[in-house]
Structure 1
Amino acid sequence: MKYFFAIWIPVLLFANVVFSQEMITHKVERGETITEIAKKYQVTPYDIYKLNPDAQDRLKPRMKLLIPSKSGLKVTTNQSQITHKVLPKETLYGIEKKYNVSDADLKKANPFLETDGLQIGQILTIPGKKAAANQEKVIYHDVKPKETKYSIAKKYGITIAELERKNPEIIPNLTIGYHLLIKGNPSKNESALQKEAAPASVKKYNTYQVKPKETLYSLSKMFDLSQEELIKLNPELKNGVEIGMLLKVPATTSFPAIQENKVYADLTPKNTDGGRKRIALLLPFNVSNLEDDAVNPVSERLKKDKFLNMTLDFYAGALMAIDSAKTLGLPIDVSIFDSEETKYNSNAASIINANKLQTADALIGPFYQNNAEATARLLTSYNVPVISPLSKDAGNSIANLYQTVPSNEILRTAMFDFMRSKRGNIVAVVDKKKSSMIQYLSQSQPDVKLVPLNANGNVSAESLKSMLVTGRMNYVLMETASIWMVKTTITAMLSAMPNYQVQLVVLETNDAMDSDEINFSNLVKLKLMYPSVTRDNNSPERVAFENKFRKLNSVSPSDYATRGFDVTFDTMMRLLQNKSFEDTVNTTATEQFENKFEYYKKDGLGYANRGVYILYYDSDLTEKVAN
């Protein structure tokens, strides 16, 4: 099976840090990632690595990890000022809110912020504030329509856990109009007033008619309700969303304009203003490391360094796109720089200043999420688009940052939206060890039913058939790393095929699916389906690209090489439309050789890509895009 597009990240060593807080022990399950574990405990991967250096090498099943109960922070007081060490994921806005200082005052006390931007590990001087916690200003926030716990916590630079700790009433549900305590410790009188300010349950309702292309997920987001709450108000939704359905929804909700799926189009150059466009690529060649490595020659480094190979592949693909632009005579100037990246640092700031990239029309890179975000912040006031080419982290929302790789959450959502658009009956076979998936389904996909497992933790044909319906496609979502569980699920589905329409679905592949013990022909019979960032493309244009790439580089293009071409070429075409890059993003989706670019605005700032393919195994033993 074709693996999903993944980013290989080199191992970094972290210094030992002592936290004065309680620890949680987590036993790693097969298939779990550091990102999933960090999200589960509401910490960052950085927090986990600091306490578990061995985890940087490889996560192993049954490995025990120490998890901090909350992020550690060390500040040192100095009479009228304190210092703050910048941690991963922190922003200037969040730090300024935390210490109640202005942007101007913070930058005046730390002049290097103007030139270098905010960097991990920097020691900031916080001017004119005392560190006494009991002097912290009390801050409240009234919940507005469409706001979420995540967006509110991010706005004030706190975590969701901190928000819920101060407002335990919102743990089950966030209600519009609720008077939230954000920071500080209110007096008894203030606490009483806050409770009085909490709104009563909504009792007035409006009627809403379902429009084409709307799904249970999009409707729940529109009305700021969970899918479970929406189904409770409208039990008929249990059978799927249908065009024209009349739904009961809260009267306090205004109906926003529906964002229809964008039209896919081939962008052709339309630059008539006579000016040339300027693009810069910031790629992590890390040449200085190669030159300083006297032990391993470059040839040996190339054999071992996967990150460098990925960079060179992306670069080779980008050069093909640049060459295409030159052949077409497009008015574009491209500069390529070595971003000299580690996971949390790059020399982007010095490159930008030395080459006046504040006047560039777009930047592609850096590769790492943290560095792409830092670069975007440096150029926000200049409105220069920064295109993050490889990171699939959800990351922070920054006005001029464009994430080109759909996140895992977008992949999952696309898969469920597709199944619901077909009015399918969705059931799930989930390994008991996959607690994170069980929690995800419960919270985000409450209408998906779990198939009961037997005493051995496997599924039987009888229990599966009891969950199926006739006359509709039954999508069986399977989530397990157990080869035996894969085999028993397939056997149960094959036995149901004479009487039911069934199709096997996975959200991501794993070693169990690729095992020699799994009969590939059975996966074809069940038309195995899954979401993917990329697709196979055998068009004449793609074949010509592959032949030319092989002629120039003596190898076939890897996924990274093709992505290098797709991202670079798509960026150039968007810049040549007689409108801003953002305007093209808001109006047009594109499809290049293997990648889609269907950007959408997230959290009111910045853009992410929801261009996802739904692939399935066809009877001719090839992968095809599901319509």
Structure 2
Amino acid sequence: MKYFFAIWIPVLLFTNVIFSQETITHKVERGETITEIAKMYKVTPYDIYKLNPDAQDKLKPRSLLLIPSKSGIRVASSQAEITHKVLPKETLYGIEKKYNVSDADLKKANPFLETDGLQIGQELTIPSKNKIKSSEKAVYHDVLPKETKYSIAKKYGITIAELEKKNPEIIPNLTIGYRLLIKGNPAKNNEVVQNTEIKQNATDAAKKYVSYEVKPKETLYSLSKKFNLSQDELVALNPELKNGVEIGMLLKVPTNGMFSNVSENKVYTDLTAKNNSGDRKKIAMLLPFNVSSLEGDDTNSIVAQLKKDKFLNMTLDFYAGALMAIDSAKALGLPIDVSIYDSQETKYNSNIAAILNNNKLQNSDVVIGPFYQNNAEVTARLLSSYNVPVISPLSKDEGTPITNLYQAVPTNDVLKTKMFDFMRSKNGNMLAVVDKKKGSVIQYLSKNQPDVKLVPLNDNGTVSAENLKNMLVSGRMNYVVLETANTWMIKTTITSMVSAMSNYQVQLVVLEPNETLDSDEINFSNLVKLKLMYPSVSREDSSVEGVVFENKFRKINSISPSDYAIRGFDVTFDAIMRLMQNKSFEETANTISTQQFKNKFEYHKKDGVGNANKGVYILYYDSDLTVKVAN
């Protein structure tokens, strides 16, 4: 009987709903969402929320929901809600202004907007004004370096005692990056309204703007998410948006700090040969075999040198993969001529100038190499007047932007940005556990990812389950970014997360390889439970083509292909196929993204000059003990 009353009392109190037919009950299964259930019964999520108000806070497995039949509910005319059918070119901003409702109220009435966005033909419920309850907006402040309780309290005209009363967890110490509640009550579902002045702290340091061209299917909503601005802020920068979003519009958008790595979304394409002219394409490869130094070593035999020289082994692996790409292209009958040169390079020297003096590179359609970033930049500068594209195939260095230089490996900053962009795209609640010794990480988050909240640490540098749970949010995925090599700190964080799994969705995230996680001291099964997630330049490839490639490579070379061999194939084959499109390499790089066996190639302009690859995979540990690509 207690379950009967728990279900029906809230419904009876909801007096505006009049039933003309019996309702259906639905037993919630683990992992189901309101949107999925609504689609199953062909009703809207809002219809379910009206009968089950508690479902807005948390959807509990095995609980019963009342589901109305489509004709079974009508709403009392005294408080009738308006519906609006979305028309082409309409935006959330325009609809909100038309009906004078806030963004938060419209999304509360139509929860699917958070996941699906605005789409033509959708039926939106416009909440009536007398149902929108006014409440004091919560104001938050993210603690910046060198700030104190005194300076923060003075800034907002409150006392330190009042500040500590609102935020009792800061009584022992104040942590950089921690989000403080200044006034009002904590917003539900982590919906934070921040003071304009606080936002200025994060963006006014060096504000710059760039032009951005609107692409097909982009809306005011998607643009505001892309540039991490509110729709009002975006319209304030671009008043013409009041009349709607149009393809080709040039918008003024910020490019400092957290916006500097914003990239356009490119569609990935499988390239097929389209070289109708039949012109033979010339490819030059500059690889550091350093043959002269091998031959000049009288002490060690070449076999002995091969055993101990890791750099040479890397070069030979890359070369073996590149040869397979060249053979594949020739098997397809593609008209290519490939020249391979010994770049004879060290980190700061190479043989490039001598090769250029013999006029061997100027007529190339593309140059692959050298390996060292410094040498690749020298090559690009020397060939810039000939407009020959130069691909830096292995370097992760940030490098200097040069018009004809293409950085084939995404930098660490790109990897991090892609990881945070992915978590935001899932509407995740982002938390970070950062070792106090990692001051640079705290500064990076404060400057580039200010919406990430730092979890307070105990005096001994560990994480308590209570501190973590206080920052978790129901109904959303809670991503916990772990930045430490301290074994005990990792263990306490994992233990706290596992204990919270019964009530919250949690997932562990790392931004770069962490050797401590691979040690025997960390329980691997817990990493699988928490679906450890991380950004990566390459993926695992179990496709039929991948298996064929590995078998063929093993047959030719009597060894399995290393990561360098696969990169040699991917970089070379990608370059060949781009040259077969009846376009220049530059044109295809600007418009087409590709995915080879294990690597993506998504080139974007870097500071308006150079070209950087932003093709990154988001990988996670799955329950079947394999590593999968997150969608």
Q: TM > 0.5 between the two?
A: yes
Residue in 2 aligned with 1:273?
A: 277
Which of these residues, 251, 261, 277, is aligned with residue 255 of structure 1?
251
Alpha-carbon distance, 1:349 to partner: 1.6
Q: Residue 67 of structure 1 corresponds to which residue in structure 2?
A: none
Structure 2 counterparts to residues 188-267 of structure 1, below 5 A: 211=220, 214=223, 218-219=226-227, 245-247=231-233, 250-251=236-237, 255=251, 260-267=264-271
Separation in 2, partners of 1:509, 1:563: 19
Which of residues 498, 501, 504 is equivalent to 1:497?
501
CA drift of 1:353 comes to 2.5
Larger radius of gyration: 2
Is 2:381 aligned against 1:377? yes
Which residue pairs with 2:206 in the alignment?
Answer: 174
- CA offset at residue 355 of structure 1? 4.0
Q: Which amino acid aligns with 2:422?
A: F
Q: What is residue 483 of structure 1 aligned with on the other side? A: 487
Residue 624 of structure 1 is matched in structure 2 by 628
Partner residue of 1:326 out of 304, 326, 330: 330
Where in structure 2 are the equivalents of 1:358-397 lying within 5 Å?
Answer: 358-397=362-401
The change in CA–CA distance for 1:249 and 1:432 in structure 2 (over 3 A counts) is farther
Letter in 1 for 2:389: P
How far the C-alpha of 1:394 sits from its partner, in A, is 1.1
- Structure-1-length-normalised TM-score: 0.62
CA distance in 2, matches of 1:313, 1:400: 26
- SS of 1:440's equivalent in the other structure is helix
Percentage identity across paired residues of the two chains = 70
Contact 2:238 2:251 in 1 (8 A): no
Q: Secondary structure of the residue that 2:516 maps to in structure 1? A: coil
TM-score normalised according to structure 2 size: 0.62
1:430 matched to 2:434 = yes
Q: 1:622 to 1:612 in 2, by over 3 A?
A: same
1:316 corresponding residue in structure 2? 320
Tell whether 2:339 aligns with 1:307: no
> Residue 212 and residue 345 in structure 1: after superposition, are their counterparts in 2 closer, same or farther (change >3 A)?
farther
* CA-CA distance at 1:175 after TM superposition: 4.8
Once residues 292 and 530 of structure 1 are traced to their aligned partners in structure 2, the CA distance between those partners, rounded to angstroms, is 44
The structure 1 residue matched to 2:358, chosen from 354, 359, 380, is 354
Given that residues 483 and 515 in structure 1 are in contact (C-alpha distance below 8 angstroms), is that contact kept between their aligned partners in structure 2? no
Amino acid at match of 1:574: R
The 2-side partners of 1:274 and 1:467 are apart by 62
1:449 is the counterpart of 2:449: no
1:604 paired residue among 577, 589, 608: 608
Q: 2:518 aligns to what SS in structure 1?
A: coil
Deviations along 1:183-224, one digit per CA (max 9) or x if unpaired, are xxxxxxxxxxxxxxxxxxxxxxxxxx96465575x415xxxx
Structure 2 residue 379 is the aligned partner of structure 1 residue 339? no
In 1: Cα distance, 2:441 partner to 2:208 partner:
28
Residue deviations 1:70-123 (CA, integer Å, cap 9, x gap): xxxxxxxxxxxxxxxxxxxxxxxxxxxxxxxxxxxxxxxxxxxxxxxxxxxxxx
Q: Is the partner of 1:478 in helix, strand or coil?
A: strand
What is aligned with 2:515?
Answer: 511
Matched residues in 2 for 1:433 and 1:512: separation?
16
Which residue of structure 1 aligns with residue 9 of structure 2? Answer: none
> Could you list the per-position Cα deviations for residues 403-430 of structure 1 after superposition, in whole angstroms to 9, with x for gaps in the alignment?
0000000000000000000000000000
What are the superposed Cα offsets for residues 487-519 of structure 1, whole Å, 9 maximum, x if unpaired?
111000001001100000000122211110111
Give 5+ residue unaligned stretches, structure 2: 1-201, 210-217, 240-249, 254-261
Aligned residue type for 1:609: N
1:155 paired residue number: none
**How far is 1:171 from its partner?**
11
- Kindly report the root-mean-square deviation, in angstroms, between the aligned alpha carbons of the 2 structures: 2.2
Q: Is this contact kept in 2: 1:213–1:260, CA < 8 A?
A: no
Identify if the C-alpha distance between structure 1 residues 450 and 344 changes in structure 2 by more than 3 Å, giving closer, same or farther.
same
Letter in 2 for 1:174: A
* 1:563-582 paired onto structure 2 within 5 Å: 563-582=567-586
Amino acid paired to 2:406:
Y
1 CA distance for matches of 2:544 and 2:353?
Answer: 42
